[in-house]
Amino acid sequence: MPDIKKKFTALFISAFASMLGMGIIVPLMPVYAKTMGASGLWLGLIFSGFSLSRLIFMPLMGKMSDKKGRKIFICSGLFLYSFISVGYIFTNSIFSLVWIRILHGFASAMIVPIIMAYVGDIAPKGKEGRFMGYFNVSFFMGMGLGPFIGGILNDSFGMSSAFIVVGLLAAAALIFTLLFLPEGRNSVTKKDDLQKNPSFKKLFRNNLIKGLLIYRFIGAVGRGPLMAFLPLFAANFGITASQIGIIISSHMLLMSILQIPFGRLADRYSKIKLIIFSGLIMTTALGLIPFVDNFRDLFLLNILMGVGGGMGMPAATAINAIAGKKYGMASSMSLFSSAMSAGMVISPLIAGILMDTVGLKYVFFFGSSVTFFGVLVFYSFVKKYKKQIEKERIQEQMDSE
């Protein structure tokens, strides 16, 4: 157990530093792109480029990591991250900004799913929800503090200072990982041919995983425009960059806090119900955004979204960790992240077209409707395979005992 705690602490700190950097950049990107004359469609392309790159490279990196180990990929990604972050300063056109976002997505593909896979490797059976919940704190705390820090840096020292800080954070995470994180032994074992040759086809034979990936994809299509277009929506009411940072940070930080109790709950109760309730809460909050016009109400709706996100994420990542122990941890986690990235490729483009044609508020109506549709699809899918899901749940409980 002490060895597990040491590895977990190193992963937690490295992930927090990298996600803090991402949190600083993302809310500032729409404003930065606007200074270059970006339309709604170009703004969609900027965010889609990052997600498209992740979508292409994450499955490949995940499968390679299941065969060759974790640390080399994490360190390579952080190394690229540090240089690419500073590269934002030297972009002078919308086209170059799209390309640097694509490169940033490539670097991210070597960090996020591989770190999650490492945590999944060391999580004891029956405690996947708890471990993933604790670890998810690093992601959402970093993403939560990032917008607040980014807003302050932008208001106080200018946009360039935010990119420099992000590069320094990635460099610090790289040094920490090199010094304190041992090379993890992945989930591949000599006794299990399935794990010796991780296969996406075998993952897709698991009906619960298929249902979860479909939900993850549709949910990302619905919620994807939030980070890209909420800052523009808030700016219409005179809300400053620092206040926008507070609004987004409140959402992410609450998600971070709730990962621990909902992670424990996911180990004891129905993961499926937690995911469905989470989707319904997000549907409601997104649908109400167009009806608010002040900082307080927008802040409260983001609090509500924080509750919804905090409820569903530990359950979803726990299901993936359980599958990863059978099929290859990084392969499972990369597919989970790829499903989200696929949705994130599509959603900013649709949102950008909606913004240019019918108005910004319809971006959030679209997000709410699609998220609700995702809940319905997920429910119908898991209901169809209810017997299989119950059998897997019973088997999981038996394994934990």
Residue range 239-291, pLDDT digits in tens: 876 787 788 778 778 888 888 888 888 888 778 888 889 999 999 999 999 99
Look at residue 244 and tell me if it is in a domain.
Answer: yes
The values of phi and psi at residue 193, to 5°, are -65, -30
pLDDT of 12: 86
Q: What is the mean pLDDT of the chain?
A: 80
Question: What does the pLDDT average to over 311-327?
Answer: 77
Count Cα neighbours of 177 within 13 Å in the Cβ-side half-sphere: 29
Look at residue 86 and tell me if it is in a domain.
Answer: yes
* Other beta carbons within 10 Å of 293: 11
Q: pLDDT over 90 for what percent of the chain?
A: 10
Q: What's the domain range around 219?
A: 2-184+195-400
**Residue 118: which CATH number?**
1.20.1250.20
Question: What does the pLDDT average to over 286-304?
Answer: 90
Look at residue 225 and tell me if it is in a domain.
Answer: yes
Structure tokens at 113: 């799913």
Look at residue 190 and tell me if it is in a domain.
Answer: no
pLDDT of 103: 92
Distance (Å, whole) CA 383 – CA 374? 14
Confidence of residue 389 (pLDDT cuts 50, 70, 90): low
Please give the tally of structural domains in the chain.
Answer: 1
Distance (Å, whole) CA 247 – CA 230? 10
> Does residue 109 or residue 38 have the better pLDDT?
109
Confidence of residue 201 (pLDDT cuts 50, 70, 90): low
Look at residue 140 and tell me if it is in a domain.
Answer: yes
Look at residue 189 and tell me if it is in a domain.
Answer: no
Terminal Cα-to-Cα distance of the chain (whole angstroms): 18
